[in-house]
A and B are shown apart, each in its own frame.
Chain A
Amino acid sequence: MSANLFLRKNTAFSLFEINTLEATDQQLQAISNELGLSLSLQEMKAIQTYFNAKGRNPTDVELQTIAQTWSEHCFHKTFKGKIRIDDKEISSLFRTYIAKATEEIKPRWCISVFEDNAGIISFDKGYGIAAKVETHNHPSAVEPFGGAATGVGGVIRDVLGVWADPIACTDVLGFGPLNYDYAKLPAGMKHPKYVYMGVTAGIGTYGNNMGIPTVNGAIYFDDSYTGNVVVYCGCIGLLLLNKYKKNAKAGHLIVVAGGKTGRDGIHGVTFASAELTEKSEEVSRPAVQIADPIQEEKLKRALMEIRDRELGSATTDLGGGGMSSAIGETAERFGCGATIELDKVPLKYAGLAPWEIYISESQERMLLTVPPENTEKVMAIFEKEDVEATAVGKLTSEKRLQLSFEGVTVADMDMQFLFAPPKSVKTATLQPVNVEEPQFPEPANLTETLLRLMAAPNIASKESVVRMYDHEVKGNTALKPLHGEYAGPNDAAVIKPLDNSWKGLAISCGMNPNYGKIDAYWMAAAAIDEAVRNNVAVGGRRIALLDNFVWGNPEKPERLGSLVRACQACYDVATALKTPFISGKDSLYNESPLGTVTPTLLITAVGIVPDVRLTVSIDAKAPGNLLYIIGKTYPELGGSEYYKLNGFLGKSVPKVRAVQARKTYYALTKAISAGTVKACHDLSEGGLAVAAAEMALASVYGAELDLRKLAEPLKRDDFTLFSESNSRFLLEVAEKDRESFEAIMKGKACTEIGKVTRTPRLVIRGFKGDVTVDASVADLRASWKRTLSSEA
């Protein structure tokens, strides 16, 4: 690599000009690699053309700014770019499948979808609900505690970025098996147990310290997560819709508030060859970020007061890409340009180059635009809360981004160029997986099987983790993640956010990565169905969805192919269920020395409970009450926990009959509103048997079921009990409500299948009338609690 590509400018601080004027393709590629820009040759050439027309070279600040603005993280090239598949071309996955579903459903209650830091829906009494889910996989792989904690911090700032007060957090985590063989672990890779301990502690610490209850989530174990830990962090916020101010104008000041700026999060940059750096680095470049939740708590207080007094004109968080993306996107959104004096940014330590300041991802920082006449008041609020805030520049009517440092111009680019990257074109192929249905005899008795399933890591109680999260702070958690004395696993959490309203918010999720090993389409469909049915189960309706994809390298056509399949399912199922997407995010390139991540789609669902007093929990309420199974059971065990327990994957992946499902959900919602449903639990991992066991173990009672009562029985008891067919529930109904309940459910797949019993045993009779499961609830509870108990 010849050093004359990088020309040190004669400035008192570090500034380089990058010689692109006459650079060859090879040199352009080398520049991208050397500076860690991750820009393709096509993109580098577009940059070259732009600067050649200006007759000058770009500076390091300019190149780094462009690289951040055009990055996958900030611009979502894969979802917005072109995809060639077979003979067809998809102009944008996002437009074609995700946004289109929302456009077609046309929900009047969606206030802001996809365009801001978080999606916003209307709630009650002039309030809206903001929701956002993010991933923080890579930082959590490097430093589990800090990575997960700053993931929570980041998504909370996204919610602050729409002027909303964060009222609940969610977290869905994916780890490798906790008993993974140390000997098989590649050098430098952290053991799943270490990652698990660090990540769960990090999630808890941030939410707890900020006083935001962590109310919903899931933990999923999969081999592929050993090298690619999956950390989804979500946040729900509350805002008065008339305080949702986004009216920045030229002349408004740009203020950076919160933590100081350091080299945090600047990684992959290899700008350290001997000729280039005169001064050796005194300070390392930490890719690892350290969380300071108290800083963010103070920042939140200040922002909420600024919001209430309507002193700011816009706000956004400083996340991926740091100031470069926050300032650029803010200026772009309001049709402005910006001038910034980078030397005004408060630093953690001296010696940062201008480009480092501009792209730093230091935590706990927010950007605000403030009309000049309000500046004094805004600064007084920050001071009262002990938060540092600095005006670093202003919005301009000229649509240019101009950055200076100590009076020297270090970047000067047209906004139009910056926000029109060349469209990426990727190729996808659809490659069906070669899977087979296993053949094995049915066990004579399924009691032992059920006890083992209860202890399977993906089914077992997550109580030891959930107890580390404060799910009660703010005193508004009406339905808790751990229900009652036995910590039963409620399907969704319900929050009652307003003191003067009984309206509640149901928060649930769905994720079935194992199905994706058979078909990504049905995996995505199942995730949506699961999130929705969990929400419906507690009484939620008018449901909005958030999609979060974690995939491998999209440059590999078969990985992109499965992504296309999953997006198709998103469109099909969301439109059929009439559940719009309001926000989403993708994390691609999740690859490790152990291979690619299992394609994973998390669906988060946010529904409305018209009156929290009608909320339904999972625990069996009274002996003698009837048990109904809602929804049809098919021989769908592909990817199920039952097959997994027996060492199989299988082929018969659960499908979603979405049109039918919607009718079932509608009827069930009516039955809940009528007060006829005493308990409800969705059927998911482990199927009917596990749902019945959970309903019993959350209470002091037992249950008896008789499979002979099913209208269309399957051939085997084990398949019936453990099938994971979607859109099903187990319900408890009082004998006195039998008629009114059955009238509501008329025409739907709804079968009375047993009773709640006073004796705390789960007894299930098979098709032949013999008892195939007979277990004490205490044993079921013990198996379920053992696997992940903190005592183990």
Chain B
Amino acid sequence: MKREEIKTLIMRVGGTNCDAETQRAFRELGAQAETLHLNEVVKRRNLMDYNALVFPGGFAHGDYVRSGAIWARLVMAKLGKELKAFIDEGRPILGICNGFQVLVEEGLLPGFEGVSAYPEASLAPNIRGYQCRWVYLKNENRGNCIFTGKVPEGKVLRMPIAHGEGRFVLPKEKEGALLAKLYENDMVVFRYCDKNGVAAEEKYPVNPNGAFHDIAGICNREGTVFGMMPHPERAFYWWQQPDWTRQTQMTQYGDGKLIFESIVEHLAKRC
């Protein structure tokens, strides 16, 4: 498929607010991207017209009850069948920040045994409350995740986070076993680290929210559904970086571009 034929759907509901910059990222790479309200997608029943789906950041439905919970339940109730088909065909689904919370609440991530009826993990309140700051992430994925195809294993990326509920946790009693399973299936993607790539070991602020095992992003077993708390769309251009005025060599893009580039390249090759 040519890049310009790739169709991406950025879904939104009341309270979604990172759709415009996410759409911009795809368009900058030559792919088509359209932002539609869930109500419109339900009305048009056109989810399968798209090659990739993104749940962008924001505060969907005010994040009432739990972050992402209401949007997740609505999507499953209204579009559950289509979404299942979308996943079964291996079409990529990306969740950023609030979108990651949605994917967890939908039971799509981690998805140890496929889509789960109830959440298998949680993005719990941060240990120090809402935070907006730049963090470093290490790519720990060995090649399963299609969203990091352009990111070499072990590479350190820099992106901002901005959330109050992003502390990734697994059920305490099975934490160790589930973590092993995440690694076994190559589902761990990003971990918080310092600028040299040394793991945060859950220390603040290198790990900004207290996430278990410094986990910032995971994918499903197939590597086609991916959620991350940091915002790649806010690290797309070099001038979005927090200290670009210090850099003597100006590049055109920031690290976030690699995520979008990976999706587009994957789709271009695949079809």
Contact = CB atoms under 8 A, between A and B. Distances in A.
A474 B132 contact: no
B112 interface: no
Contacts of A496: 239
Given A209-B15, A467-B131, A475 B239 contact: no
Nearest to B60: A294
B37 A385 contact: yes
Nearest to B237: A475
Interface string A365-387: 00000000000000000001110
A208 interface: yes
Interface stretch (A154-162, A610-618, A750-758): A610-618
B14 A480 contact: no
A482 B59 CA distance: 23
Interface residues of B, number: 36
Contacts of B18: 211, 473-475
B50 interface: no
Contacts of A483: 242-243, 245
Contacts of B130: 204, 208, 467-468
Interface in A439-488: 466-480, 482-485
Given A210-B17, A298-B14, A617-B245, A475 B240 contact: yes
Contact of A470 (B16, B162, B236, B243): B162
Interface in B111-137: 128-133
Nearest to B250: A613
B239 A478 contact: yes
Dominant secondary structure of chain B at its interface with chain A: mixed
A293 B129 CA distance: 19
Contacts of A706: none
A270 interface: no
A60 to B, nearest CB: 36
B206 to A, nearest CB: 12
A621 interface: yes
A484 B14 contact: no
A478 B254 CA distance: 13
A278 interface: no
Given A211-B18, A468-B132, A475-B234, A386 B160 contact: no
Contacts of B16: 211
A617 B241 CA distance: 13
Contacts of A298: 14-15
A264 interface: no
Given A209-B62, A484-B242, A472 B14 contact: no
Contacts of A477: 240
Nearest to B21: A475
Interface string A106-120: 000000000000000
A619 B37 contact: no
B33 to A, nearest CB: 13
B242 A480 contact: yes
Nearest to A700: B246
A790 interface: yes
Nearest to A466: B132
Contact of B62 (A293, A301, A384): A293
Nearest to A209: B59
Interface string A277-318: 000000000000000111001100100000000000000000
Contacts of A499: 24
Given A208-B130, A467-B132, A470-B132, A294 B15 contact: yes
29 contacts: A204-B130, A208-B130, A209-B15, A209-B59, A211-B58, A211-B59, A293-B59, A293-B62, A294-B59, A294-B61, A386-B14, A467-B130, A467-B133, A472-B234, A473-B18, A473-B162, A474-B20, A475-B233, A475-B237, A479-B245, A480-B242, A482-B133, A483-B242, A484-B246, A485-B243, A613-B250, A616-B245, A617-B245, A790-B129
Interface of A: 204, 208-211, 292-294, 297-298, 301, 384-386, 466-480, 482-485, 496, 499, 612-613, 615-617, 619, 621, 699, 790
